[in-house]
Amino acid sequence: MSKKLALITGASSGIGKSFAEQLAEEGYNLILVARRKQKLEDLAEKLSKKFSTESQIVVADLSELEQIKNVVDIINSLDSIDILINNAGFGLSSGFAEGNAERQLDMVKVHVLASFSLCRAVIPVMLKRNEGLVINVSSISGLMIKYGDVTYTATKSFLIVLSEALQEELRKTDIRIHALCPGMTYSEFHDTEDLENFDRSSVPKGLWMSSSEVVRKSLKAARKGKTVYVPGFLNRVSLFFSNIALIRKISQWFIERKN
């Protein structure tokens, strides 16, 4: 592959697919990683016909440690890589105590262990050329200290802290680390068995964004050097008031204890 190269996990749908489409349009060759082989093959064929780009597909379930290692081995075999996008992920609808412990651990492996491992593999490769971009797809939930999906919030918070710490360590290089923190996004994310009871109509239409818009804004912000980024004005407003409300609750708690 002589063109610039990007590796994208969770590439078969939603935000991952939009990253693949927009980077292919920019002329990147791609390594597309996801669980669903047919969707990867269909996407690779589409991108080849439309943008004359080459795509290597890697069928992998990143909740499996051996399959994480397989993707790490692919990165280690590369002479160079320009962009890594850690996008693979999923949500759960049950609470922490009553939820399925195995699925919660799967989430930790996909969101945390896989992303950490791929970052750890790719940074030395990027350092050889002193350039590159890593995008860790987190969530606005990772910036909200709240009750709710504990495992999802905690793992997405990890990706934000990982990105900030990595960027600080790499501040004297031309490698950029970007934590994308989208809000509600139209994709297949909410169409899984884990979220079968989710009702899209329960969220105001104004808070939804398309995957392509999220990705377009993310790439623009990442290339400007933005480390933690929340796309969408309404999402940023929601985040502000959510955290203000929490500060008020904490303040009230201290006042009541003092009195």
Phi, psi of 95, deg, nearest 5: -75, 170
Rounded to the nearest 10 degrees, what angle do helices 115-127 and 150-169 cross at?
10
Q: How many other C-beta atoms can be found within 10 angstroms of the C-beta atom of residue 4?
A: 15
What's the one-letter identity of residue 41? E
The answer to whether 30 and 55 have CB atoms below 8 angstroms apart is: yes
The catalytic residues are 152, 156
Rg of the Cα atoms in the chain: 19
22-49 per-residue burial string, b: 16 or more CB within 10 A, e: under 16: bbbeeebbbbbbbbeeebbeebbeebee
Does an H or E element contain 61, and which? none
**Tokens at 85, concatenated:** 């996008």
CA–CA distances in Å: residue 88 to residues 79, 118, 242: 24, 12, 26
154: Cβ contacts below 8 Å, ≥ 6 apart: none
**Tokens at 116, concatenated:** 């950490």
- Identify the sign of the CA torsion 187, 157, 7, 90: negative
Question: Any idea which residue has 């962009």 for tokens?
Answer: 83
